[in-house]
Amino acid sequence: MSKLLAKILVHSISQPSHMALISDDLQLDYKSLQSKIDQLSAVLKILECRIVGIFLDNSPTWVLIQLAAMQAGLIVIPIPLFFSDTQREYLISSTDIDVVIAAFDYSESHRSFYRLNVNNELLPETLYAAMRYAVSGKAAITPANTALVTFTSGTTGDPKGVCISTVLIDQMCESLHCMTAALGIENHLSLLPLTVMLENIAGVFLPLFAGETVLIDSALQTGLTGSSGVDVQQLSLYLANHKFNSLILTPELLKLVINLKQQGLPLTSLKYVAVGGGKVSPALLQHAQSIGIPVYEGYGLSECGSVVALNTPSASKVGSVGKPLDHCAVEISPAGEIRVYGPHILGYLHSTLIQKKTVATGDLGYLDEEGFLFVTGRSKNVQINSYGRNFNPEWIESEINRLSGVIRSSIYGDDKPFITAVIQLLPNVNEMQLWTALEQLNQTLPDYAQIRHMVPMSVADIAGAELLTGNGRIKRDEIQQFYLSKIEAGYLAAISSF
């Protein structure tokens, strides 16, 4: 049995009536959670399946199914709701998923599946299960000991499956618990999609490992849809009506929470906010803390199980992503690349097992004398302008992203005389307001880093052209290609003005 499941079993005995999972529609204490895990696990074993696909929105039921499958020794594959139809079908067909559990009857539209009659008394809500008629080549699908396959959204086409073991899940939970145990967290709010590994492990498994309560609701309640859609009014209402001590945010969600806090959202019970998934401006973090949001930056990647380093109230440094977790060691290569030694993923779906002891992250950075890790950019993203000046776009983007009204940005200036920024704005902000802010920002930047041309990025373009990854990170190459004519128009206009 994994350490996570063993902890939940202990909690079911030592604190049976303590709430484990709650939503607006359901409450499960640790005794009830363990009972349902046992019952559903037994049913899954009877089905003699090997891989379970979860095709659901966030809910306590989602977590219950995953834990039951883990107890049964099965592989869990989350199916992201924010994937395109093509990406989802590739995921299901390429993984030989035996059983798909969804909010609709998956078998009605897929002839290779038939409907299963699962006792819905085991599940807190009405769900449908569909089983594949026949599966071929099971043994070659995943590395041995795989418990979870999390799919990234891919860059241009097929998603990429990351294979995680229960050992790595346990190590993540133990290390994160050591860093956060003193914070006095009792209730964690899980906002990000559970198909994102960071939320799955740090947002749900960690609190359950610690015997805490996880508040988790669907997008309908929280106002967060897909990987980047936000109903601001619904999110504000949801946050105001629930008490929680911690949550995990992406940089763009942090900006939104800052905005809501400035508009009067109390957040009085909040003790700790972890932010990750992209570079965050130190000025933005300091501003958030100055208005009462206890936010701390972290760093990680899928190949290392999601989290590598994290700031906490007892060990924090502005500009850094914190100190490495106990189970991993970080070194910097002669070329300045961050390398992580210790536990890592088993491998990728349909690929050979990863035998290396180190993960070359592709990120540039350094460790200071106190052991804090600083990330300065991506090695492959380094750009050189036409004057021969090198710059990392993440640095400039973090400065743009801290501006009021900016959701996200992506900059371009490789082999060009100046920088162009593709920027997504909040709906109530116009381009004139943005340019005023950009002009003020330019005064603080060196000449080669100043923004001279701007291209607006719309919500419709983001959704239609799939310009973001599953956890909201920009797809730099795709954005550049999609807006290429508008980006180039700025340089042509500059040439014609001479």
* DSSP letter assigned to residue 172: H
| pLDDT at residue number 252 | 73
3-class DSSP assignment, residue 100: strand
Alpha-carbon Rg for the chain, nearest whole angstrom, is 23
Name residues of the chain where pLDDT drops below 50. Answer: 137-140, 154-157, 498
Query: Sign of the C-alpha dihedral, residues 347, 351, 355, 361?
Result: negative
Residues 6+ apart with CB under 8 A from 109: none
Which of 147, 146, 109, 150 lies closest to 128, judged by CA? 109
* DSSP letter assigned to residue 201: I
Q: What would the two tokens of residue 262 be?
A: 């400035």
Identify whether the C-beta of residue 484 lies closer than 8 Å to the C-beta of residue 476.
Answer: no
Pairing of strands 358-367, 337-341: antiparallel
Q: What is the value of pTM for the model shown? A: 0.81
Cα–Cα distance for residue pair 35/32, rounded to 1 Å:
5
| pLDDT at residue number 158 | 58
| pLDDT at residue number 388 | 60
- What angle separates helix 393-401 from helix 282-290, to the nearest 10 degrees? 30
* pLDDT tens digits, 54-92: 999 999 999 999 999 999 999 999 998 877 677 788 888
Cα–Cα distance for residue pair 120/106, rounded to 1 Å:
16
Cα–Cα distance for residue pair 128/65, rounded to 1 Å:
12
What are the CA-CA distances from residue 359 to residues 152, 251, 300, 306, 381 (Å)? 18, 25, 11, 13, 18
Cα–Cα distance for residue pair 224/314, rounded to 1 Å:
31
Cα–Cα distance for residue pair 89/92, rounded to 1 Å:
5
Residue 126 — φ and ψ, nearest 5°?
-75, 115
* pLDDT tens digits, 319-334: 999 999 999 999 999 9
- What angle separates helix 232-240 from helix 251-262, to the nearest 10 degrees? 70
* pLDDT tens digits, 168-225: 999 999 999 999 999 999 999 999 889 889 999 999 999 999 999 999 999 999 998 7
